[in-house]
Amino acid sequence: MNNFSIISSLLDNDFYKFTMQNAVIKLFPSAKAKYEFINRGKHSFPKNFAKILKENLNEMAYLKLSNEERIYLEKYCPYLDSSYLDFLNKYQYNPKEVNVYQKGKNIKMNIEGLWSRTILWEVPLMAIISELYYKLTGKKRLSDKKIIILTKEKLKKYKKLKVKIGEFGTRRRYSYRVHKLVLKILTEERPPFFMGSSNVHLSHIFSIKPIGTQGHEWIMFHAAKYGFDIADRIAMENWLNIYKGNLGIALSDTYTSSVFFKNFNKKLANTFRGIRHDSGDPINFAKEAINHYKKFKINPIKKKIVFSDNLDPYKVASISSFCKKKIYPCFGIGTNFTNDVGVPSMNIVIKMVKALPEEKWISVVKLSNVEEKSTGKKNMIFFAKKILHL
């Protein structure tokens, strides 16, 4: 491998990709998936960008789980069983699953193959695109010293608020170097204030537990297999069957929160430790969650909401002040930690667009609580909304 590889470890990825991969292998081993790159921010990519991106993803074929990394996973993630770790030992990225081409200043990319294999591409690819973009467009960042000062200032604010925070910033980081620098400062704080990072490789480096549960694609696939109206419920039940109450944070906005709460029955509300908020008004969502728990005579203060939608100290302050003594808030902070370095952060996503649960490919959609975060074909979004009476 050359020295310029942006991704240098198989574990340089978000934790929920591995927890989902484990569940997919166990429940849907023959399912296939297709993903697409969406350039939400309409960024202009420089000449030869696709070529250099391809070189980077070809390098990823050489990544393998090391013995040391396996030992780390056994120690810090006991709910990942040895059969899954054996799979990961043999796993290697296959660049043939990714198709990248450039048209003028635009990049087109899709990923296709077995879901259990292609599931790991999304986050490292986004991290590579982000880092390459800044490198090739010559966008200069703040100095390390300034980034350290800025990060410490944010930490001071969070500490004053007495909130729990985690770092979720792999996919849109400015660079691996900045990510590592920020995490070094965060890990010096240690728990209970700092909950951990979603990046497994950096968590390994700093000997901390990785955090995260499942992503939207888990529920989107269930919609393709079982239908939009019960996707949330079956996805949660399947998750419980695999993890027995570990990793117990449910994702609430794949088909809007109102549909989620219809599926979040008494058993699930009791069993899951909390829910993740990723779109829409956070205060309204907290109110909805509190009422929902009370309806089942569950004390909301014993339940968590993990807020993770584009947070900064100002938003965290207003959310935590509302939640005080009502429900337990935690905060997953992404781009504001890993790409607040004096350049505009990128607005890019890679989303599952089709799933093949059995015989035929089915277009999948994510509705979210805000229009602009929805993904999928327009006719399919229309169809989903009709079924869900939205």
Q: pLDDT at position 192, please?
A: 77
Average pLDDT for the chain: 96
Q: What is the pTM of this model?
A: 0.97
Q: Which residue, chain included where needed, has tokens 């709460």? A: 261
Q: pLDDT at position 326, please?
A: 98
Q: pLDDT at position 191, please?
A: 66
pLDDT digits (tens, 9 = 90+) for 94-145: 999 999 999 999 999 999 999 999 999 999 999 999 999 999 999 899 999 9
CATH architecture of the domain covering 15-140+345-387:
Alpha-Beta Barrel (3.20)
Q: Which tokens is 102 given?
A: 């450039």
pLDDT tier, 2 (very low <50, low <70, confident <90, very high otherwise): very low
Rounded Cα gap, residues 338 and 341, in angstroms: 8
Q: Say if CB 1 and CB 62 are below 8 A apart.
A: yes
Section 204-223 average pLDDT: 97
Q: Which residue, chain included where needed, has tokens 């297709």? A: 34
Rounded Cα gap, residues 184 and 168, in angstroms: 14
Q: Say if CB 126 and CB 175 are below 8 A apart.
A: no
Judged by average pLDDT, the poorest of 68-72, 150-154, 366-370 is: 366-370
pLDDT digits (tens, 9 = 90+) for 299-355: 999 999 999 999 999 999 999 999 999 999 999 999 999 999 999 999 999 999 999
Topology alike, domains 15-140+345-387 and 144-216+231-338 = yes
Section 67-88 average pLDDT: 98
Q: Which of 353, 269, 277 lies closest to 322 in space, CA to CA?
A: 277
pLDDT tier, 1 (very low <50, low <70, confident <90, very high otherwise): very low
Rounded Cα gap, residues 313 and 153, in angstroms: 10
Rounded Cα gap, residues 159 and 277, in angstroms: 22
Query: Would you kindly state where each structural domain of the chain is located, as residue ranges?
Result: 15-140+345-387, 144-216+231-338
Rounded Cα gap, residues 9 and 151, in angstroms: 25
CATH architecture of the domain covering 144-216+231-338:
Alpha-Beta Barrel (3.20)
